[in-house]
Amino acid sequence: MAEYSDRKDRTITTRWQITGDLAKFILTQDLSHLDDWGGKEAVREVLPEHYQKIFDLVQTDLINCLLEEKNRKTAMGFAECMGRWGDWFHSQLDQGKKVVYHYFVHTIEPMLALDLAPICLEVLSGLTAALYTDGCEEGIDAMHAEGYPDHLCSSNMGGAGFLLKGYVPKPDAFLKGTTPCDPSNRVYEYLARKFNAPLIVVETPYYMNERALKFLTTEMKRMIGKLEKIAGKKLDEDKLREYIKLSNETGEYILKIQELRKLVPCPDTGWHRPADTIFTAQMGTPFSRDYFKGLYEIVKERADKGQGVIPEGKKEVRLAWGYTWECFDLPFFNWLENKYGAIYTEDCLTLFPADYAMIDTTNMETMIEGLAQRMMQVPMARQAMSWSDTWVNDFVDVARAYKVDALAIGGHMACKHFWALNKLLTDKVKEKTGVPALRFEMDMMDKRFTSPSELKRIMDDFFATF
């Protein structure tokens, strides 16, 4: 049995570790649905005691979704790597490494090379929302209790609230790229002041051109200088190269998977897509590489056999998520596959441009410029930080390359920049490709805003008219 910490400030990360191990345990049982063994309560009774408490917290529908044959292997890979991440993070803490909470747009290789312990604030919210019945609402509510309104972004607020509650380690620093949004900037500013921790700001310019790249490269150098102060050491070129090689490798797998999703039938399942961001935020680590390598092998095997992921006899409906998805109900995407044959081609938050992956590791200069290039291209930031043309063109390309039948655009309530663009985006994609769009309101992390059952009702209505 693994050793689990009972420290309060490791509440969330320990929960993830146990959940990973629990998932691996369940996935190795002869079980295709909890009802096979008499339902969740009955299964609980046969579980080892140390799993029972966490088992109670995990969403029942999620367990049943992962037990489906088509999802099992991916789920196993996910659970394995999630557990490894937890082990690694705790070992970093045990060694006294300094904790840097960072925004999702940052690549973490410089922090890894500086022996820091990076953790993405938004992943704290997202993964917790994805796994547990109570989601990250306790964190969100803790921020509301401090007086911060509900129109801020729950992806920042959940993690921020966990910090307030003391469920995650105290920060030694915060790292924040300035775009794409005001709510995140403000929450990081609040947290840095609240915890009296340095806030390292990386200015991400509005444009995607040579001038912007040059500026951002200088920003990366400035950032590294500040991180070096936190770490108390200089950035070692060889160590940075080692981590970038890992992230390059990871990027290659991501791009290969993207290519496979263009196939008809689509060989990849949808349930894991929002949760993949835990590993895109960890690019540079072996478990991120291993997760996407494993995923690639699963998807490739299916593609080689010409297999899809929808029930036999159903016609495949190819959906692209033109902006965000919800994290709190991953089985929703499985439900779409099973009920409507609707598969998940791409989305704005995990769509990597073709030139994303490779960073030239020749020397420090090429690596830093490559990191800047990546930061400009990181999904969502790429679309949201700049002119609308980038976003529109990306989804015109997606609509064509993935042979998309419809765009589903879940508008995260806090993303004011998206809501200011929602009509133009959908109109232009329709005008250029003929692909219609469904736009609806939701909150990525907080299921109290648009509930799972309401999401399904929206989809039922959509498919009734589609």
Binding residues for other proteins (CB under 8 A) = 146-149, 151-152, 176, 178-183, 185-190, 192-193, 199, 201, 203, 205-207, 215, 218-219, 222, 387-388, 411, 413-414, 416-417, 419-424, 441
> Closest approach of Cβ 314 to other proteins, in Å?
34
Residue closer to other proteins by CB (options 67, 142) is 142
145's enclosing H/E stretch is: helix 137-145
Residue type, 159: G
Phi, psi of 102, deg, nearest 5: -125, 155
H helices of 208-280, in order, are: 210-231, 237-261, 277-280
Helical pair 331-340 and 60-67, crossing angle rounded to 10 deg: 60
Residue 358 contacts residue 248 (beta carbons within 8 Å)? yes
Residue 82 contacts residue 275 (beta carbons within 8 Å)? no
Residue closer to other proteins by CB (options 78, 325) is 325
Q: Which of these, 257, 260, 263, 264, lies nearest to 280 by C-alpha position? A: 257
| Residues 6 or more apart in contact with residue 407 via CB below 8 angstroms | 319, 320, 321, 322, 395, 399, 426, 429, 435, 436, 437, 438
> Closest approach of Cβ 186 to other proteins, in Å?
3
Residue closer to other proteins by CB (options 4, 207) is 207
Tokens of 60: 């029942």
Residue closer to other proteins by CB (options 439, 456) is 439
Residue closer to other proteins by CB (options 2, 145) is 145
Residue 174 contacts residue 100 (beta carbons within 8 Å)? yes
- Measured CA angle at 448 (ends 348, 118), to 5 deg: 50
| Residues 6 or more apart in contact with residue 384 via CB below 8 angstroms | 179, 180, 181, 391, 415, 417, 418
> Closest approach of Cβ 205 to other proteins, in Å?
7
| Chain centroid to CA 268 | 17
Q: Which of these, 460, 461, 153, 175, lies nearest to 332 by C-alpha position? A: 460
> Closest approach of Cβ 220 to other proteins, in Å?
12
C-alpha to C-alpha distance for 131 and 137, rounded to whole angstroms: 12
Residue closer to other proteins by CB (options 244, 442) is 442
Residue type, 434: G
- Measured CA angle at 64 (ends 268, 57), to 5 deg: 115
Q: Which of these, 217, 283, 298, 213, lies nearest to 252 by C-alpha position? A: 283
